[in-house]
Amino acid sequence: MTTTSYQVPAQAHHVELEIKRSKFLTFASPAVNRQEAEEFIRSLRDQHPQASHVCWAYIAGAPNTTIRSMSDDGEPSGTAGMPMLKVLEYSGYGDIVVAVVRYFGGTKLGTGGLQRAYSDAVSLVLTDLPLKLKVSRTRLQLTYDYSYDGSISRLLARYDVEGIQPNYAQQVSLTIAIANSELSTFKTEVTNITAGNVEVLLPKSE
């Protein structure tokens, strides 16, 4: 099932949490793909070379994407990355990467204590994270005769479309980005009002 709209970070955000003298610096940032997420994590490692651990998790795409990953970065297996990823999954947010930079304070927290610490650190950074709504869209290219231009213009006014780019040559060629939630209905309507005399193409993904 395609996710049609979801909350994403509007900008990077960070918080600090201290537990038994260990400092947990938590960072969240937008990440629309795996490359952005991994670059963000690398930059934090560069900024904190003395940190005991830099644990992370990300969902790089819609909340239901399979492009997700996490790392304990040397903490006991299952005590950092997975709890962090679970908090992200529960939030319903997408296009997001979080990383927790830990400076060890000398007191071991134990397995349960670590799981709670990393979960709490991510929950805390999400509490005041600036968000914006992202609408999933599909780009379409429509080609039709000039006689249908007025009807199609009126049709477009009723739909959630962006980036309308017309090209007037022997026929009208129109590129639009339409909300995925309206894609099927729109294709049916535009075919009906032109009696099938419209070519609907999916341009190559950007």
Does one domain contain both 95 and 119?
Answer: yes
Does one domain contain both 175 and 84?
Answer: no
Domain carrying residue 179: 136-201
Q: Is residue 58 part of a domain?
A: yes
Report which of 97, 98, 90 is spatially closest to residue 15, judged by C-alpha positions.
Answer: 98
Question: Of 106, 133, 160, at which residue does a domain stop?
Answer: 133
Does one domain contain both 110 and 121?
Answer: yes
Does one domain contain both 125 and 143?
Answer: no
Does one domain contain both 64 and 121?
Answer: yes
Distance between CA atoms of 56 and 100, rounded to whole angstroms? Answer: 6
In DSSP notation, 64-84 reads: T-S-EEEE-TTSSTTSSHHHH
Does one domain contain both 101 and 142?
Answer: no
Domain count, the chain: 2
Q: Taking a C-beta distance cutoff of 8 angstroms, is the pair 53, 102 a contact?
A: yes
- List average pLDDT for each run of 10 residues in the chain, which is 206 residues long: 79 96 97 97 97 98 94 97 98 97 95 97 97 92 96 96 94 94 94 96 64
Does one domain contain both 113 and 188?
Answer: no
Does one domain contain both 45 and 101?
Answer: yes
Q: What share of the chain is helix, strand, coil (3-state, %, to 5)?
A: 35, 35, 30
What CATH number is associated with residue 168? 3.30.70.240
Does one domain contain both 174 and 188?
Answer: yes
pLDDT digits (tens, 9 = 90+) for 103-148: 999 999 999 999 999 999 999 999 999 999 999 889 999 999 999 9
Distance between CA atoms of 138 and 86, rounded to whole angstroms? Answer: 29
Distance between CA atoms of 121 and 87, rounded to whole angstroms? Answer: 10
